[in-house]
Structures are given as C-alpha cells and as structure tokens.
Amino acid sequence: MNFQSPAHFTGSKAWDAIDIAEVEGATVRLHWTDQPYIWHENDGDEVFVVLEGTVIMHYRRDGQEHQQRMNVGDICHAQEGDEHVAHPQGAARILVIEKKGSV
C-alpha cells in the first residue's frame, strides 16, 4: 500500500511531480506548481483533478481561446488533440492521469 498526502508535497520547481502509479500504460502523478504549463496537445486522453488551489484552464476550440476556472475537486478530461494550458492562481496541487510519456 502506498499513501500520499498532497498537502505535504511541494516541488523544487514548477510542475514537479511524484509518480504514484502506472496503470496499463497510463501514469498517475501528483504535480505541484505555481507557474503555468505550456500550450500543448496530448497524444492521448488526460484527466486533470485539482486537489489544492485554483487553476484557470485555457483551451482552444474552433480557433477560439476559452477559459474555465477549476477549484478544489474539479475535474477536466482533455481528449487526444485538445489544445490546452493550465494557469495556477498561486500554488496548486494537481492529480494528472495520462498516457505514459505524454507532454
């Protein structure tokens, strides 16, 4: 058994992560960040769960940029090819489940 307490994890740099598990080719990782990521498209599905903090998820649909505020407990499912970037509002802890090796 492996137990994690997200509140006790602070990375040394933005988007540092603890690898929690690998399940049938998908990774489960706990991320800590206080900086935005980069615009990217995953090569598979991604599940993004805000565990602590607030994140503004920017995404593009039909050439238009949109934003969705995510609070603790909110979940985002980005499908393969969905272009997006996460902007934390201060420090945030995020659980990400995605294809191993995905950007």
Q: Which fold has domain 12-99?
A: Jelly Rolls (2.60.120)
Q: Are 76 and 18 in contact (CB under 8 A)?
A: no
Q: How far apart are CA 26 and CA 52, in angstroms?
A: 22
Which of 24, 17, 101 has its CA nearest to residue 51?
Answer: 17
| Domain layout of the chain by residue ranges | 12-99
Digit-coded pLDDT (tens) for 54-77: 999 999 999 899 999 999 999 999
Q: pLDDT per residue over 10-67, tens digit each?
A: 999 999 999 999 999 999 999 999 999 999 998 899 999 999 999 999 999 998 999 9
